[in-house]
Amino acid sequence: MSDTARTARSADVVLETEGLTKQFGGLTALEHVDLAVERGELHAIIGPNGAGKTTLFNTITGALEPTAGTVWFDGEDVTEMAQEKRPHRGLARSFQSNQLFADLSVLENVRIVVQTARSGRFGLDLLGNGRAKYREQAFEYLERVGLDGVHTALAKNLSHGDQRRLGIAISLATDPSVLLLDEPTSGMGPTETQETAEMIDELRQDLDLTVLLIEHDMDIVLSMSDRITVLNQGEVLATDSPGAVQENEDVQNAYLGGMREEL
Ligand SMILES: Nc1ncnc2c1ncn2[C@@H]1O[C@H](COP(=O)(O)OP(=O)(O)OP(=O)(O)O)[C@@H](O)[C@H]1O
């Protein structure tokens, strides 16, 4: 793509991949994936097991280095930017339960990230002046995800669903403009799933977030998404509105024997 074309598109597109390819030995997990995520949208990534969804997230966040291709964030080529730098630019991914400090309280888990994000890499606050302020801000993030009532609990004692919510609160503490959520409702029952979907919707509106979401629950995907990209065997099958994706024959065929009824 020429520089002129990129400038023309960049007003709407906040995150973009161009020809993104990832090979693991002889296996091509992603093949020339072009993805354009528009500012403010909820963009879902769906596809059968092994389609490359998590690998796509990992190459966007820098957890994996792509074999070829480019990742653009806010008009900047971030393909080679260190993983830990990307949240500081506003590109964040929900923390996984194994990234939580299991023996610290729920509030402390968020407070540490608030402090690190606000006062530099090591959260230096030699006089301790900011501590109360950081706790206050951390508490606000917990309120947003509905965990304020359990802020003194140890992270390891939370339910699976609450740990996922804590992972979201922690990523919010880096003040992202784009948030990547990898199956935020996995392992949840129908009520908790619905509550989590509503929470994500509120976060989007209140914090002006762009959300890139991997989700297996088709009801959630179809009801929440502005646009959906369907991956199959590492390639993009379609990017379209939920209605158009449901009607797409290639997509229906890719899901044959699996989730077709749900589409
Ligand atoms: N670190 C790795 N080493 C080797 N192969 C890998 C690695 N990570 C993923 N793969 C392979 O790449 C392909 C895509 O995997 P990926 O996890 O991205 O798919 P997915 O769409 O997220 O699947 P699922 O829905 O089952 O989570 C699969 O064939 C997988 O086995």
pLDDT at 98: 78
From the CB of 215, is ligand 1 less than 6 Å away?
Answer: no
From the CB of 26, is ligand 1 less than 6 Å away?
Answer: no
φ, ψ dihedrals at 237, nearest 5° = -85, -40
Is residue 142 packed enough to be buried (19+ CB in 10 Å), middle (13-18) or exposed (0-12)? buried
- Residue nearest atom 18 of ligand 1, based on CA coordinates: 52
Ligand 1 atom with the smallest distance to the CA of 22 is: 12
Nearest to 41, CA basis, from 2, 71, 78, 12:
12
Distance 24 CA to ligand 1 centre (A): 9
**What is the Cα–Cα distance from 163 to 93, expressed in whole angstroms?**
14
Percent of the chain, pLDDT > 70? 89
Residue 9: CB atoms within 10 A of its CB come to 15
Distance 55 CA to ligand 1 centre (A): 6
Residue-wise pLDDT tens digits, 87-133: 989 999 998 877 889 999 999 999 999 988 877 544 555 556 667 88
Q: Which residue has the higher pLDDT, 234 or 8?
A: 234
From the CB of 197, is ligand 1 less than 6 Å away?
Answer: no
pLDDT at 8: 41
Predicted complex ipTM? 0.97
Q: Domains (ranges, CATH) in the chain?
A: 11-82+209-255 (3.40.50.300)
- The pLDDT of 239-249, averaged and rounded, is 94
What is the pTM for the complete model shown?
0.89
Contact 244, 58 (CB under 8 A): no
From the CB of 258, is ligand 1 less than 6 Å away?
Answer: no
Query: Tell me, what amino acid is at 213?
Result: L
Strand order in the sheet with 27-38: 27-38, 13-24, 68-73, 76-77
Contact 220, 193 (CB under 8 A): yes
Residue-wise pLDDT tens digits, 173-195: 999 999 999 999 988 899 999 99
- Residue nearest atom 6 of ligand 1, based on CA coordinates: 24
pLDDT at position 168 over 80: yes
From the CB of 24, is ligand 1 less than 6 Å away?
Answer: yes
Helical (H) or strand (E) element with 1:
none
pLDDT at 193: 93
